[in-house]
Structure 1
Amino acid sequence: MKLGITNRLVRATHVREAYPHVEPLARLPGEHLPPPAEPRPDFAEEARFLHAEGEATPDMFAAILPDALYHASANILVAGRGRILLDTDNVWQEWPNSPIHRRYYWRDQYLRPTRRLRGTTLALRSPANNYYHTVVDNLPRLFWLHQQAMAGIPITILVPGPYRPWEASYLPRLLPPTARIVEIEPRYLWRSDATLFGSYLSRAMSGHLPRRYLDFFLPRVLPARPRDRRHRIYITRRSAPGGRRVTNEAEVVRVLERYRVTPIALEDLDLSAQIELFYDAEAVVAPHGAGLTNMLYAESIDVIELHPTRAIMPHYYYMARSMGHRYCHLCADEQGRHSSFAVDVAALERTLDTVFPTR
């Protein structure tokens, strides 16, 4: 099919453009970060829009969208066939040069059969669903179900395919009693009597979640005991899927152990054990990766993030600032953000001397 026709068949829009007359059920105004203690690091090119926007969460809202469709294999809402609601795609800004018609194939919009669901539904997942995106993007939308406007309304949570392990652990703690979960077939487009749209509570590539949400979320997941700040953690990626492995990790670990920093493979721990570990953390050293999401469960820790490229991806820079953690970073000189890389051990040791002056 010619490119011009394909462009017209698949278009990008936003909720406020597609539904200009829909009234929000609930709102959450943007929340500003306190000024940074140190100069801001250089951001990777795809994250530089956050230079202007990253100091605050967006203005957020929830609304019922008439006649929206849930595209269950792509995990997005569409305002009629071919009209992609970018507000429901949590990673579209990470691929600024990827045309919308290449990301969402036109046949998926027009030729897939539609199935009907009764009642009000909320789609749980988004296009990216790893541990970070589940905790920072997907689960926070459940916050909208606890707002006054939703009190007493039965809601069906749509999950295409089986649970991820972390979803099975978090969902019972976060869902209201009016919610039920339905596993649906990804190969269909799904239309409901009422589709609840809830904004993501953070910006793309920023782990800054609003305090009102954290005050709701953390008491439901944290241990009910005092903290014991005793763990200095190095998150190894030697068994993690994807890249960003430290190629000189044996040398890095030898240095870290002199500062009583212990290597941990989070893949070996279930979610409860990870939360307990970070709840008692004093410091975390890690390559950029989803395991750093667990800093949400710590209090006033030192974070040393290791990046493969000269410029950082700022997900955890913003998360650390929003949580009151002390953040520093070391960068390598690779070209790709998923590249494996060698850590400058001398620079790491200088940083550790600053963080742990007495060891």
Structure 2
Amino acid sequence: MDPNANSHLERLPLRVIPTFKEWVSQTYKDPADAVKHYICFGREEPAVRSIPKGIGPNLAESFTSHLSHHKLAEQFVACIPDGRIIGAHGTVVTPDLNIIWELSPELDKQPTEHSLTKKSSFGRLRRTSETYAVLTSPYSGHYYHWLFEVLARIELIRRSGLSVDKYVINRNDAPGFQQETLSLLGIPMDQIVDCDQDTHVQAGCLIVPSFAAYTGIIPSWACQFIRSNLLKPSSDSKRPRAKRIYLSRADALYRRIANEVEVISFLKQYGFEPFTTTSLSALEQMQLFASAEAVLAPHGAGLTNLVYCSQPAKVIEIFSPAFIPTNFWSIFNNLGLEYYYYVAQSGKGLSYGWDGEDDIIVDLDQLSVILEMAGIEKVQEAEGSSSPNTQSRFTLEHIVKLSNCEMITELFRHYLNRDPIRSELEHYVQRLWAREPKEEILFDISNVSSYIE
């Protein structure tokens, strides 16, 4: 083992400093030196551009007051010569062995409880003269947090004008959207340093941008960076597009719509088409939302794609009464687009210890009211004509990977060039729930000659 590595094991972090500014003031007494290591961009003053409207508690008051009480933090880039990255979470450590809490927070802990202060051994130290940009985040495996707590921070590095050799991330099971979005930003995988439990690196310099959206309030510059750098124009006619999107969570473990078959059937008369994000690539999700004029969905990570919407798009977000966060209103507020909400009833479902993960029951009468409030009218069809958008937009190979309701609908479109009526949809979804082989259901639908009564 490298003797230099062993010599550092006794001197590993024992102290936590809450802010990087505090460490800079202790380390660099000359202000001219301090500003080279703490590159500050100031604080964005949030503005209310979109008043929430909807059914349930007065979220207009609670959301806008959250905006005023949770001020956006001062944005900066930290420059740490000889800084270290330690552990699976990519904890940022100064050369004099201080953990900077605001650059390496841990979930549900106070700064003094940081896990590294309790460890007795670490991975072998590796030194490099390269400059590493640290973009680690506790929730980096989740789509919303990946976009706004990881990728958006790249804009601060660009503003600083500093050059970077490698980017440090903690991929948390490496979801596919991470590599896809990094590629869209022009960052190849050979420029990525992924953290694991044995990570212990001392770089020539660490470049660490501050978090952009850690309080649920997203700065407008972060939205603009994501929109302008990830959303690419496409002429691919096979990419899914729809004017009115119903975003299902049928493929999720929790916070699903318990009566979704009824909801999807009801929404057909308004021209909404069901989608799940797991059936689409990140780029397909971007293109889908960019073409939308209305989005309706229960609260969930898929609504992160609202950042790609444009005028005159509207969103209706459905909440469980126990969990009403501001994240997605914050996006639409930055874009100045119309935001509506519906606080529905809690239903039974898989629970992980708190009511915010309960499934949701939608009242169709109230759904009709919120649609009217948003100015979303029923689609007009000529008598005897088929329902709109009845030609499937997917290949058969893709269709069988969709969620239950979406898969049945697309199979009908693929084989019969029409949508299933409600009784047909319920019949085949129940067969899927009973774990019948998809091949049998596919065969039966391909041979449907009449409606099921």
TM-score category by the smaller chain? 0.7 to 0.9
The corresponding residue for 1:352 is 371
Instruction: Provide the C-alpha distance between the structure 1 equivalents of 2:248 and 2:192, rounded to a whole number of angstroms.
Output: 34
> Could you say what secondary structure the match of 2:265 adopts?
helix
The corresponding residue for 2:269 is 258
The corresponding residue for 2:201 is 190
Structure 1 292/180 Cα, relative in aligned 2: closer, same or farther at 3 Å?
same
Which of 309, 316, 335 does residue 323 from structure 1 map onto?
A: 335
Instruction: Provide the C-alpha distance between the structure 2 equivalents of 1:165 and 1:42, rounded to a whole number of angstroms.
Output: 38
- Residue 58 of structure 1 pairs with residue 73 of structure 2: yes
Instruction: Provide the C-alpha distance between the structure 2 equivalents of 1:192 and 1:319, rounded to a whole number of angstroms.
Output: 35
> Could you say what secondary structure the match of 2:360 adopts?
coil
Structure 1 189/50 Cα, relative in aligned 2: closer, same or farther at 3 Å?
farther
Which of 142, 146, 155 does residue 165 from structure 2 map onto?
A: 155
Alignment of 1:260-279 (within 5 A): 260-279=271-290
The corresponding residue for 1:70 is 85
Structure whose residues are more often strand by fraction: 1
Q: Percent identity?
A: 22
Q: CA RMSD, aligned part only? A: 3.2
Which of 362, 368, 374 does residue 343 from structure 1 map onto?
A: 362
Instruction: Provide the C-alpha distance between the structure 2 equivalents of 1:42 and 1:310, rounded to a whole number of angstroms.
Output: 17
Instruction: Provide the C-alpha distance between the structure 1 equivalents of 2:113 and 2:73, rounded to a whole number of angstroms.
Output: 27
TM-score, normalisation: structure 2: 0.65
Which of 13, 16, 26 does residue 18 from structure 2 map onto?
A: 13
Residue segments in structure 2 that go unaligned for 5+ positions in a row: 1-12, 29-33, 53-57, 347-353, 379-453
- Residue 220 of structure 1 pairs with residue 236 of structure 2: no
Alignment of 1:21-36 (within 5 A): 21=28, 22-23=34-35, 24-25=38-39, 27-36=41-50
Q: Structure 1 residue 166: deviation in Å? A: 1.5
In the alignment, is the contact (CA less than 8 A) between 2:149 and 2:213 conserved in 1? yes
2:231 aligned partner, one-letter code: L
> Could you say what secondary structure the match of 2:161 adopts?
helix
2:126 aligned partner, one-letter code: R
> Could you say what secondary structure the match of 1:312 adopts?
coil
Q: Structure 1 residue 52: deviation in Å? A: 0.8
Instruction: Provide the C-alpha distance between the structure 2 equivalents of 1:148 and 1:141, rounded to a whole number of angstroms.
Output: 11
Stretch of structure 1 that moved more, 75-84 or 112-121: 75-84
Structure 1 176/234 Cα, relative in aligned 2: closer, same or farther at 3 Å?
closer
In the alignment, is the contact (CA less than 8 A) between 1:235 and 1:291 conserved in 2? yes
Q: Rg larger in 1 or in 2?
A: 2
> Could you say what secondary structure the match of 1:167 adopts?
helix
After superposition, what is the alpha-carbon deviation per residue over 1:232-263, rounded to whole angstroms, capped at 9, x for unaligned?
111111112x4211112122222222211111
Q: Structure 1 residue 219: deviation in Å? A: 3.0
In the alignment, is the contact (CA less than 8 A) between 2:49 and 2:334 conserved in 1? no
Alignment of 1:290-301 (within 5 A): 290-300=301-311, 301=313
Instruction: Provide the C-alpha distance between the structure 2 equivalents of 1:271 and 1:176, rounded to a whole number of angstroms.
Output: 16
Structure 1 267/35 Cα, relative in aligned 2: closer, same or farther at 3 Å?
closer
Q: Structure 1 residue 185: deviation in Å? A: 4.1
1:224 aligned partner, one-letter code: P
- Residue 332 of structure 1 pairs with residue 344 of structure 2: yes
The corresponding residue for 1:3 is none
| Structure with bigger RCO (C-alpha 8 Å, 6+ apart) | 1
Q: Structure 1 residue 32: deviation in Å? A: 2.5
Stretch of structure 1 that moved more, 113-122 or 216-225: 216-225
> Could you say what secondary structure the match of 2:294 adopts?
strand
The corresponding residue for 1:5 is none
Alignment of 1:122-201 (within 5 A): 122-129=133-140, 130-147=142-159, 149-150=161-162, 153-160=163-170, 163-175=174-186, 180-201=191-212
- Residue 312 of structure 1 pairs with residue 329 of structure 2: no
> Could you say what secondary structure the match of 1:337 adopts?
helix
Instruction: Provide the C-alpha distance between the structure 1 equivalents of 2:320 and 2:371, rounded to a whole number of angstroms.
Output: 19
Alignment of 1:240-255 (within 5 A): 240=252, 242-255=253-266
Instruction: Provide the C-alpha distance between the structure 1 equivalents of 2:357 and 2:62, rounded to a whole number of angstroms.
Output: 15
Stretch of structure 1 that moved more, 32-41 or 257-266: 32-41
1:265 aligned partner, one-letter code: T
The corresponding residue for 1:237 is 249
1:78 aligned partner, one-letter code: V
1:85 aligned partner, one-letter code: W
After superposition, what is the alpha-carbon deviation per residue over 1:274-299, rounded to whole angstroms, capped at 9, x for unaligned?
11111100111111111001011110
